Amino acid sequence: MGKSNQIIGGEIMPNIQNRLCGTLPKVGIRPIIDGRRKGIRESLEEQTMRMAKSTADLMTKKLRHSNGLSVECVISDTTIGGVPEAARCADKFVQEGVGVSISVTPCWAYGMETIDMDPLIPKAIWGFNGTERPGAVYLSAALAGHDQAGLPAFGIYGKDVQDQDDYSIPEDVEQKLLQFTKAGLATATMRGKSYLSIGSVSMGIAGSQVSPSFFCDYLGMRTEYLDMSEITRRIKEEIYDKEEYEKALSWVKKNCPEGEDRNKKEIKHSPSQKDAEWEMVIKMTLIARDLMIGNKKLINLGYAEEAEGHNAIAAGFQGQRQWTDYLPNGDFMETILNTSFDWNGIREAFVFATENDSLNGISMLFNHLLTDRAQIFSDIRTYWSPPAVKRVTGKELTGLAKEGILHLINSGATTLDATGKQRKDGKSTMKPFWEITEEEVKSCLQNTTWSPANLEYFRGGGYSSTFYTQGVMPVTMVRINLIKGLGPVIQIAEGYTVDLSPQIHHILDERTDPTWPTTWFAPILTGKGAFRDVYSVMNNWGANHGAISYGHIGKDLITLASMLRIPVAMHNVPDEQIFRPKAWASFGTSDLESADFRACHNFGPLYGRK
């Protein structure tokens, strides 16, 4: 596992590392050239290789992996003017672990002789918009070859003509290169990793019926399954780092104050019961993490097999009800794992789904890999219309909330990053972990209490994080659903978190469970379809859960979904931001949503067989 240090606020941050098995995918750059010798090729060598190098420089300067490590690029040893050079480049890419391919060219070249033929690697072509040589002609010819071969590729072509000696990357080209590459890296990063199902189906929730065919065919991932009794075994046999446990217990006592116990007097747990629950939920957190990524310290305890983990890039915990009816719930475990810090300091958030909702877990994973940020897991609990709010509070919704709001709330899994207490330019944000300061960690913790679990829901006790997302933040709500006969589809709703007045928030929050974390969400409306009003967003949502990410990342999700061949069933992203493989245009250009469904069905899942 590769490690490096990052300096933040003058302090060295040691938690930038690849904590999963396998090398991180690299970006391969393929400089394509007109192969005709004795003048033409020779005149283009410098310009072509400069394009490749400038593309690589862009990637290394602007992109990181979600674990904070820098993105590495691999450039073909030579320009590519024919089949032998394409084959040598392909061999190098395999040896170097390339997971994303970008071909660049300022000129005409022989299309089918030079394209990337690997069917599993996302690929794009940047054709230079210049008049001296027809880079755009090669782009069109090569993309036609990709389409005919059933190897969809993204086409990138600048809007403005550049001079031959202009080696800059135009803004529109840069945006597409970065959008493609980040989505391509997400695709490559998931491949070969695991989703770890701890337990089975929670309360009949369809998303916790973990589908191995979906994970394998569409994501290239394994599905690993464990009974929840593995956690109790490790607690009983003390298969965890006891030194770290003591450190975690001390940290929790200092930073995690108990909130109000709202349980009925006759069923409240005693102080000694609550102390025991704290101890257990901390051990659960340590063990769940070890189950995901392993822990070498277990080797010294005589547990070499347990030390390996399951190489899980995402996981979920069933909890209800076979666990929670007699043991502390997983809320603390889920929240801390999904947060960008714990007793070991600031680090990459894990992706950990409550109720083992694997489809929401993968939605969170998509968001995390595209943004490098921690993710919110929530119930899409309630649509509050302006008249309903006025009726129960006597007050009007205003500003971003004036058309109505969705109440996002769940007892577990909501990251503490969502308190809104991280800041950028004076505004609330959720940052990549390497940008988070110690002061922001303290602020997130200080704005969170840990309320004893509602014992009518969770008879075994436990603790739920209690906070209210503060500040206006751009966010995107996402969900993958499986539809019999159709397969997976993805839904996307961009919008904003909103600050309600204290009086409105208090009255509305008291009508659910005020001990759980709350986020108020106002989707961006378009006046048509599922986004004609807020009610329609709620009414068209495909499941009870949603994954919510900082930022308006709908365009990035659409690009990623097209790589995986998952159609987008609902979104409010402007058409001009949509970037899919060129082949999608052959399935229709006036109705992009329908064309997406046809294209995804035609090409089939990225790792499956038609």
The residue with tokens 């916790």 is: 208
Residue pair 546/378 in contact (Cβ under 8 Å)? The answer is: yes
Rounded to an integer, what distance in angstroms lies between the CA atom of residue 41 and that of residue 12? Answer: 48
DSSP 321: T
Q: How many other C-beta atoms are found inside a 10 Å radius of the C-beta of residue 3? A: 12
379 is a catalytic site residue:
yes
**Burial label, 480 (beta-carbon count in 10 A; 0-12, 13-18, 19+):** buried
Rounded to an integer, what distance in angstroms lies between the CA atom of residue 365 and that of residue 220? Answer: 14
Rounded to an integer, what distance in angstroms lies between the CA atom of residue 411 and that of residue 379? Answer: 9
Helix (H, G, I), strand (E, B) or coil at 406: strand
The residue with tokens 């990138």 is: 156
Lookup: tokens for 317: 């915990």
355 is a catalytic site residue:
yes
194: β partners:
222, 312
Residue pair 132/100 in contact (Cβ under 8 Å)? The answer is: no
DSSP 208: G
Run of H or E residues at 487: strand 487-497
Among the listed residues 241, 277, 342, 355, the single catalytic one is 355
CA distance to 313, 368, 607, per residue, from 191 (Å) = 10, 15, 9
Rounded to an integer, what distance in angstroms lies between the CA atom of residue 10 and that of residue 212? Answer: 45
425-457 burial: b if 16+ Cβ within 10 Å, else e? eeebbbbbbbbbeeebbebbbebbbbbbbbbee
Residue pair 87/115 in contact (Cβ under 8 Å)? The answer is: no
Residue pair 239/306 in contact (Cβ under 8 Å)? The answer is: yes
Rounded to an integer, what distance in angstroms lies between the CA atom of residue 45 and that of residue 30? Answer: 13
Residue 95: φ, ψ to 5°: -65, -35
410: closest CA among 338, 341, 349?
338
Question: Distance between alpha carbon 168 and the CA centroid of its chain, in Å?
Answer: 31
Rounded to an integer, what distance in angstroms lies between the CA atom of residue 371 and that of residue 369? Answer: 6
Among the listed residues 379, 417, 494, 513, the single catalytic one is 379
Note the maximum CA span of the chain: 92
Rounded to an integer, what distance in angstroms lies between the CA atom of residue 145 and that of residue 139? Answer: 10
Residue 499 makes CB contacts below 8 A (sequence gap 6+) with: 470, 471, 472, 520
Lookup: tokens for 60: 């290394």
Residue pair 56/167 in contact (Cβ under 8 Å)? The answer is: no
Helix (H, G, I), strand (E, B) or coil at 85: helix
Rounded to an integer, what distance in angstroms lies between the CA atom of residue 205 and that of residue 426? Answer: 40
409: closest CA among 377, 444, 445, 367?
377
237: closest CA among 161, 303, 309?
303
Catalytic residues: 355, 379
